Structure 1
Amino acid sequence: MFKKITSNLLFRVFVAIILGIVFGLYLPESVNRVFNTFNHFFSEFLGFAIPLIILGLIMPAIGDLGKGAGKLLVITAAIAYGSTLFSGFSTYFVASGIFPSFIDPQAATTVEETSRELLPYFSISIPPVLDVMSALVLAFLIGLGLAPLGESNLKNVASDFQKIIMMLIEKVIIPLLPLYILSIFSAIAFKGQVASVLGVFVKIIGVIFVMHILLMLIQYLIAGAIAKKNSIKALLNMAPAYFTALGTQSSAATIPVTLKQAELNGVSPKVANFVIPLGATIHLAGSTMKIVACAVALMLMQGMDFNFGMFAGFVMMLGIAMVAAPGVPGGAIMAAIGILQSMLGFDAEAQALMIALYIAMDSFGTAANITGDGAIALIVDKIVKKGNF
């Protein structure tokens, strides 16, 4: 039991934040400079890895959507993307309306002006092999080209490259994230910024949790109206899947429970067996909500300018990037880091804060994702019963 708890990414991130604060407040500058040196190195490594992650995840993900492509696939993908867009845009309007009431951009500037400087002992530059936007365009171009193909040498290469990138994420980046976050928070604490950052974090998490509940309620009100089902009953029937996802932090691991509960809502086994596994891969409305809300919050905290036009493009691109999110805790934010950098201008520190804030709510986002899959299954099942499938 203890080993299971300590291996949980959320637990390790929580411990890293606490230790980072303690180290920054009470350890000498020489020790904190060691952590800051690691911070700079890992930031450079992430900058190098992000274009490769984009290529390795998005390219085969788009290519694989062509397998057995038919009406059911197109309909399910369109509904999932529409749900993701609704989540992203509604979150932007709510976050940009509520967050300024408790996030003061001037406070960040004031703290920055009065903070102590913490320098690394040395830094190593690791230039990426190509920039983020080039990687995105190349991934889309090759992925779309692979989609109509059957087995091919290039498709096998893309699949092998995907496995390498997955190993990079699972064996290197994810295990080192807690240490990276520790180094970020030790620097924040050393500079005297920790109280303002943590205070805002708690408020953001509370708001996003309420927004997740509202998102699921809206999804089931729409699905219930289309499928002629009792929306509240259908949502409550998905509770076992929701709480399973809270514990596992994995949409894939929750698929058996999600299937059972979807069928309990009257979805035919044929539709459920298709929609639920596909939804676990391509429908991440809950994760999108977290990323958009956290992005707005961090841009407010750092006094960065933003507008609806900027976020419109970001949300539409994010919906596509979520298709490529690997099924590991924190996988969605790793798939999104590239567009956070290229479209919203997030630097290394903002990316690290984004990762910490996202992982703090990872279970709730995953639970919202799979619960939403049940709503999509209801809609697709009604369409199938009316159409010629």
Structure 2
Amino acid sequence: MDLFQGKLYWPETSRNSRRYDKLEGDLECDVLIIGGGLSGALCAFLLGEYGVDTVLIEKNKIGERVSAANTGSLHFMSDQMLTDLIKQIGDEKAVSFYKLSQKAIDELARIAADSDTESGFEKKSSLYFSSSNSDLSKLKAEYELLSKLDFPVAFMDKKEIESKFPFTKPGAIYTLCDARINPLKYCQAVTERAAGKGVKIFENTAMKDYELGDKKHTFKTNGGTISAQKVIFATGYDTLDFMNTKKITLSRTHAIVTNPLSDRERWYEDCLIWETKRPYLYISLSDEKRLIAGGLDETEPVGGYSRKEFKRKTEKLLDSVKELFPNLEAKVEFEYNSIYANTFDGLPLIGEHPKHKNVYFLLGFGGNGTVCSMIGAIIIRDLIKYNYHPAADIVRLDRS
């Protein structure tokens, strides 16, 4: 499976990151984390804070696979509106998940502040606009519920949108507590900080075989054998063999990154922008003031696009952006598409495997993957330390 096609932007911003040795020899530890993307890095950081004897292995380089294709937008709102999620899983669980998403962004901010290495984290507002008049009443109901629950949101009507943006929309929710990151730099910074807290990090170390036991698990790698009391699989799509794949669908999303924008091409507060239509268009600015846009999600082809179709996607995406920003003169400098997974209910898969004790999975699937990775790291840390987290049931692996 090709996880992405095209030229990624984030690796161009991070050329002097810290490198880690390959494992050479055998090790024992309390917790082994398999996977050096954002999910694994966040788990390593939180466990390192608690002094847990932890090892992290990555078969390639830290952060340079799926995390490097992440567009870097962080929202407390999920792809499913809270009103819809309530209908699906009930008031208590739905509100709890939204509150945990808000907490996750605050935790991502705290972790960024703990690191001396640049991570590209910046708090941002978001404009979530109604794509059509028919979506407006539902969007207003969503705003009223979020406001009632004290989420930091405001509502913009058509007139206010026109006064602040170069486009017209029927209405929008303006959220005040979202963020953006450079996902590759952030992953590298968090991993480096985890190493500073005593976590052992190994790159170019691939798991070749494993044996799950009652009291300890054994993992054979290309550099030695690791014995661990507990293991966290944070390997994303490489983990699908363990899971009920009927719960998971794979899609491909396209993204473009332009040259840095001039001041006159930018917009109100450089906020994140997305919409109610599905699949939705999403737009942000990098710390270099490059416009990043994504969308045009399709369930096929997971194997990738032809060169002609790839270029057509780029042109269509740029046209969608220019419909909102007609004075945009920017040129596309990076274009790529990447695989992402969604679950049957739109929520991530997080927790202990129902058939294997002390075997944990963090699969932050969905359109809000980084936030779900943070949620998963919090939940798994608490399951390991205290055998409990109040939201664990919402995202458990065997839900149906």
Q: TM-score, normalised by structure 2?
A: 0.27
Higher relative contact order (CA 8 A, sep 6+): 1
Q: TM-score, normalised by structure 1?
A: 0.28
Bigger helix share: 1
